[in-house]
Amino acid sequence: MSTRTFDFDTVAIGAGPANLSLAALYEGACGTRLPVFERNAGPAWHEGLMLPGARLQTSWVKDLVSLVDPRHELSFLNYIVTSGRVYAFLNAQFDAIPRLEYARYLGWAAGHLDVRYGTAVDRVAYDDGFALYGGGRLLGRARHVVFGLGTRPHVPACFAGRPLPGVILAEQLMSRLPGLTGRADPAVVVGGGQTGAECVLALLRAGFTDVQWLGRRHWFAPLDDSPPANDFYRPSYLSFFSGLPETTRRRFVSEQATTSDGVSMSSLQEIYRAEYEERLQSGARPLSLLPGRDVVAVAGRGGAITMRCRLSTGGQEFREARYVVLAAGREAAPLPLDGELAEMVELDETGEPVVEQHYSLLWKHGDQHRIFVQNRARFTHGINDPNLSLLSVRAACIVNALFEREAYRIRDEHTFTHWPDPHVPR
């Protein structure tokens, strides 16, 4: 039995929605605050993506706490009431709330929790428990650690490491837009999802008259927000999915992609209407939709960016633009495990850590010291994992595992979709 003294029982690293939800429910379960270490100096959630008109694709009821503890003080409803804006909010009749409103809600909730801003954890080592380091100094020791590091922009391989001035990450567009000149020159948006759509709209509103929107799919697929699609975002489906063979899970995640990364219908309508009205007024054609194109090579020449695109129908074509906005999705940020600790973690056939039922990693000392991860279990827990829909459910599962009791009961009993039994003999 270890006699080591720990500064913390559990520490959360990263103050995004996932760990804010965890911290809120943790305190509600035991009355003790969960320290959350965050490298940013203050509240920040996708700051560069707060483009005008940007909306969440998830209901505000699916906030940090309400699906498992609707009476919790850090609900979105309590936030909007105590801010004095509830009547204005209701009268605005949002189909989906502004992304900026959600970011402010997160900042408000963080103010009620033990979030330690300006504390970057860049290395976690194993020493009969976890030793957390930042900037070369020991920040503390903990029995258990929860990583909620979020995501970073995915940069296609052909753009990676290429210092091309006209290439702009989607999250940089808002800050760089005022300084962009030559708005009659071609501007290309790479990425056929919601962020790509928002970048297209931002360029059109800024007066760009030759916007080209490239996507790999053979169409710009709308978000499937239908009732059957939302069955994938329920605890009952999570239980079913986790019992499937790995090959089946990966196939299902691929088939369900448009329930998570499709484009909101309102955004598609706004894009089509903007193009139609501009053509009606001036005869100009400010927008070209270019699906079925995968950018595989890029070169810069004389202030222009040339891209070679592989076509979904076979063959290739070339596109040239002054500006290229990359909205090609996001990928999980790397876990800051030191080499010795990383070698103790079990990996799957793709080289990713194996995530167990309660979002803990399978590793050598997992029976005593647990490593939990948030937003990294898409292929073990389903398409819902990186989504905000089951945010509080995932946090409640982790809290229950930490305390080894049902601190929160997760109920999903009124179901009438009956998934096939994966254990029926073939």
Co-location of 43 and 179 in the same domain: no
Co-location of 209 and 138 in the same domain: no
pTM of the prediction? 0.94
- Considering its fold, how many domains does the chain have in total? 2
The Cα 17–Cα 44 span in angstroms is 10
Q: What is the four-CA torsion angle of 108, 110, 116, 118, rounded to 10 degrees?
A: -50
Dig out the tokens for 339 from the structure.
């080499």
* 423 pLDDT more than 80: no
Average pLDDT of the segment spanning 217-222:
95
Co-location of 311 and 341 in the same domain: no
* 1 pLDDT more than 70: no
216 CB contacts (<8 Å, ≥6 apart)? Answer: 192, 291, 292, 293, 294, 312
CATH of the domain at 52: 3.50.50.60
181 CB contacts (<8 Å, ≥6 apart)? Answer: none
Range of the domain at 321: 167-223+262-326
- 90: exposed, middle or buried (Cβ count in 10 Å: 0-12, 13-18, 19+): exposed
Co-location of 125 and 14 in the same domain: yes
Co-location of 320 and 337 in the same domain: no
* 411 pLDDT more than 80: yes
Average pLDDT of the segment spanning 352-368:
94
Instruction: Spell 205-224 as b/e; 16+ CB within 10 A means b.
Output: eeebbbbbbbbbbeebbebe
Instruction: Please state, for a pLDDT cut of 70, what percent of the chain lies above it.
Output: 99
pLDDT tens-place string over residues 32-63: 999 999 999 999 888 888 888 888 989 999 99
Q: Indicate the pLDDT class of residue 288, thresholds 50, 70 and 90.
A: very high
The Cα 108–Cα 83 span in angstroms is 10
Nearest CA to 370 out of 194, 142, 32 is that of 142
Cβ 213 vs Cβ 189: under 8 Å: yes
The Cα 120–Cα 40 span in angstroms is 8
Q: Tell me, yes or no, whether 109 lies in a domain.
A: yes
CA angle 213, 219, 225 (to 5 degrees): 105
Quote the distance between the C-alpha of residue 244 and its chain's center: 24
Q: What is the four-CA torsion angle of 148, 151, 157, 159, rounded to 10 degrees?
A: -140
pLDDT of residue 4: 73
* 362 pLDDT more than 90: yes
Co-location of 14 and 70 in the same domain: yes
Dig out the tokens for 39 from the structure.
């490298």
